[in-house]
Amino acid sequence: MNVLGINAYHGNSSAAILCDGQLITAVEEERFNRVKYAAGFPQNAVRYCLEEAGLTIRDVEHVAIPRNPWARMGTKLFYALRMPRFALDRSKVLTRFSGIHQDLAQACHVDPESVQAEQHRVEHHVAHLASAFFVSPFDQAAVLSTDGLGDFASTMWASGRGNRLEVHGAVSFPHSLGLYYTALSQYLGFWKFGDEYKVMGLAAYGEPAYQDEFRQIVKPNNGHGFRLGLNYFCHHQTGPQMSWPESDKTPVLGQLFSPYLEQRLGKRRPPAELIAKKHKDIAASLQSVLEEAYFRLLNSLYQQTHHKAVCLAGGVAFNCVANGQVFDRTPFSEVYVQPAAGDAGLAVGAAYYVYHQILRHPRGFAMDHAYWGPQFTPEAIRQALNDSATNGSSGFSRQELPNEELVRLTAQHIVAGKIVGWFQGRAEWGPRALGNRSILVDPRRAEMKEVLNRRIKHREAFRPFAPSILEEATAEYFELSHPSPFMNLAYSVKLEKRAKIPAPTHVDGTGRLQTVSRSTNPLYWALIKEFQKLTGVPVLLNTSFNDNEPIVLQPQEAIDCFLRTKMDVLVIGNHLIEKRNQT
Ligand SMILES: [Fe+2]
């Protein structure tokens, strides 16, 4: 039984394939077409999924699409009548989805008649819920999906038992915690798609001085989720102006906040303006009131389900600061957030929803690692190196080493303060580099944050970098030790350890940690272990292998990034390449 999941014509387009209930591969289109958050039809991702599974499109029995144009039709019609432009946008979306069969055939280079798979439409948030629960290790769990907007809902909650999901409630347009966060991020001068996580990082520098005002922006709704103070917004009057241009460039979002917000908080911050204390306090207030609403939802969900575990999905589930507080602010004792908690994960969620909920197959898979993307053979890596400017150049030293020696020398370079690009095995699923497409440095050196930004990453100085820690050492360094394998929970670093790992410890004393298990990534685990042998510290600073682009996927992209930035060392497969005379 082969099920292909496709998130298409939407940000973070992606594909995933299941064979007899086992996930074979899952990958975002952006990794192939090199357009961050790419929308459009994920033709490269679909082709890769089929190739990796050893299938053709003729072998696929079911195609799962996380979009149901008929969901919430009453609300859609109500707003369509009030907003003609919005109605037009809706009709364009419907037209695109009706052509998905042709796009699939075109991507697979076959006639549309050859695509015999049954198509299933799964509502956006139902697919999010499925993406969180059906791949979790839990037989029973509460499940919450929270994002900007999808199929006209922004939030949905459910109870998961075995191969069933039972939806208990939802919050519909125009009320949305995701749009709230995006609107205030825009007000603070962060307009790009996906910028909300920057504002989350900024929040740690401020005090929630505007909390009372923000409690008018997001309000409780008599035990049924939350409501937005709509006078602060304009999306309910103009329509949610999210566009995915025909050229499939990065998604674009129109202004969401109203003039009333500026009357209350003052003029918006232009993107080039210096970030003042006021902006930091607004970010802190934004985060604080998001957390209040999030924990009201979660506590209410606990009261409804009494499950001890909770699974989280949707863009808001990337709020690692909130996720890390679940243990303190709710009765839940276990949390699972799959690595692609945002819209890319819909491809996996829709596929599993079809497999379990519709076709009623039993559970038999848990996603305990994130390495579901493409990998490259030693020959392909050697060929890419031979074709590169590093080959035969006196500016580089190149060695091919067995694993043990590779790990030993790499750890020595990190201890010596070098910036190391680390490219191994299958690419990560989701937006975080988790030790297969990573840039690694010494976490003990406080200056590495500035050095990384100056030489490679060019990120805003206020944004934190993340620590990877040996799973078994988590309790030694952090106040909590619940596993965080996908870097989507932030915990407080123990007071006495903050000076030991200053580079990935944020200004508020937290770290968005990745707990690294020997069983799921033995080579990365061995590298951190070797670093611990040399320094006593079982932690590396881990940031994604890229420079203002999607994370590198192919060997050639890693080599190009190494060559055009001031990275010192590239470890790719079993090759270690060092730049000579790097300044
Ligand atoms: Fe979503």
Q: Per-residue pLDDT tens for 2-55?
A: 999 999 988 899 999 999 999 999 999 999 999 988 888 999 999 999 999 999
Q: Which residues of 149-172 are buried (b: 16+ CB within 10 A; e: fewer)?
A: bbbbbbbbbbbbeebebeeeebbb
478: left (phi over 0), alpha (psi -120 to 50) or beta: beta
- Predicted TM-score (pTM) of the model is 0.95
Q: What is the pLDDT of residue 249?
A: 62
Question: Ligand 1 centroid vs 149 CA: distance in angstroms?
Answer: 6
Arithmetic mean of pLDDT over the chain: 94
Measured CA to CA in angstroms, residue 488 lies from 94, 325, 345, 377 at distances of 34, 12, 14, 30
Question: Ligand 1 centroid vs 403 CA: distance in angstroms?
Answer: 40
Token pair listed for 510: 């937290």
Question: Ligand 1 centroid vs 151 CA: distance in angstroms?
Answer: 9
Question: Ligand 1 centroid vs 155 CA: distance in angstroms?
Answer: 9
**Contacts (Cβ under 8 Å, ≥6 apart) of 397:** 577, 578, 580
Question: Ligand 1 centroid vs 66 CA: distance in angstroms?
Answer: 9
Q: What is the pLDDT of residue 582?
A: 66
> 398 and 573 in contact (C-beta within 8 Å)?
no
Q: What is the pLDDT of residue 72?
A: 80
Question: Ligand 1 centroid vs 73 CA: distance in angstroms?
Answer: 18
Q: What is the pLDDT of residue 74?
A: 80
Question: Ligand 1 centroid vs 314 CA: distance in angstroms?
Answer: 5
Question: Ligand 1 centroid vs 242 CA: distance in angstroms?
Answer: 13
133 CB neighbour count, 10 Å cutoff? 33
Question: Ligand 1 centroid vs 201 CA: distance in angstroms?
Answer: 21
Question: Ligand 1 centroid vs 80 CA: distance in angstroms?
Answer: 21
Q: What is the pLDDT of residue 561?
A: 96
Residue ranges, the chain, pLDDT below 50 = none
In this structure, which amino acid lies at residue 332? F
Question: Ligand 1 centroid vs 302 CA: distance in angstroms?
Answer: 22
H or E stretch covering 485: none
DSSP for 340-359, written as a single string: T-SGGGHHHHHHHIIIIIIT
Q: What is the pLDDT of residue 278?
A: 97
CA 13 to chain centre: 12
Question: For the segment 174-214, what is each residue's pLDDT rounded down to a tens digit?
Answer: 999 999 999 999 999 999 888 999 999 999 999 999 999 99
Among 386, 433, 387, 383, CA closest to 553: 433
Question: Ligand 1 centroid vs 538 CA: distance in angstroms?
Answer: 35
Question: Ligand 1 centroid vs 10 CA: distance in angstroms?
Answer: 9
Question: Ligand 1 centroid vs 12 CA: distance in angstroms?
Answer: 10
Question: Ligand 1 centroid vs 116 CA: distance in angstroms?
Answer: 28
Question: Ligand 1 centroid vs 466 CA: distance in angstroms?
Answer: 25
Question: Ligand 1 centroid vs 49 CA: distance in angstroms?
Answer: 22
Question: Ligand 1 centroid vs 145 CA: distance in angstroms?
Answer: 8
Q: What is the pLDDT of residue 14?
A: 97
Question: Ligand 1 centroid vs 199 CA: distance in angstroms?
Answer: 19
